[in-house]
Structure 1
């Protein structure tokens, strides 16, 4: 069994918890282990926060989540200018290397730390897609548990 959903959101801070709550509700209903759900929700929050910061205000951004078998894939796509070239080449540079008081740049590092696979697709002038996967663990009473 599989499940997926897609959202098109405005470039507003209030859209971030909306996406997170939908993901958490889906994971809870499906029976995903709470620790895995939490990791995915933090990664989603960081990806959405980046999209809110960088997306074109007229078009917003989109979130797509898909559970297939024992894997969840999430994609967050914005319509902003794309990642700066140095960030695209080194998105996971630890925050300590950028200065202790840096206010930006931790989100991509967190995403990479919380998921099994992450891909950053830069589309200069057309935005960025952050896609990430995580292998799921299930509760005993899970509805979608792969057999």
Structure 2
């Protein structure tokens, strides 16, 4: 069985825990292993925080006030995409690893450490950045949506 959901969220800090709780709830209900759920929820929180902080500035003021989160769960993996409407990565400075004691700048590195596959790029055909990542799922033995 496969499930997916998509959220259109305002670029506000309060949207980050909302997205995280929805993902955790969906995975718990489906029967995903709690360690996998936690890893994906932390990665999602980092991607959402980046969209909130950096995802604005498009010419269309209304669209720059929101971002989108889409999650797909199937029998083998979970794929998450966070899309904002900011200026994209073309003009962004080259990424450098943050210092270990830095409060900012470690989000993308954390996403890469927690997910199996990560893609970060400009939104094709328009302004914005897409952060997508996936992870192979492990299921609890009593998982109601366990693929047979």
Residue range with higher mean Cα deviation, 108-117 or 75-84: 75-84
Deviation track 1:60-104 (CA, whole Å, cap 9, x = no partner) reads 1000000122100000000011231513xxxxx543xxx344332
- Does 1:141 pair with 2:142? yes
User: Aligned to 2:68, which of 46, 62, 66?
Assistant: 62
| 1:1-147 alignment runs, 5 A limit | 1-56=1-56, 58-59=62-63, 60-83=66-89, 84-87=92-95, 94-95=97-98, 99-123=99-123, 126-147=127-148
- Cα RMSD over matched residues? 1.7
What's 1:90 paired with?
none
Shift of 1:18: 0.5
Would you say the 8 A contact 2:83–2:123 is kept in 1?
A: no
Tell me the TM-score normalised to structure 1 length: 0.88
Q: Structure 2: give runs of 5+ residues left out of the alignment.
A: none
Count residues with an aligned counterpart. 139
Which protein is richer in helix relative to its size? 1
Q: 1:107 to 1:138 in 2, by over 3 A?
A: same
Query: Is contact 1:70-1:145 (8 Å) kept?
Result: no
Q: Partners in 1 of 2:88 and 2:129 — Cα distance?
A: 5
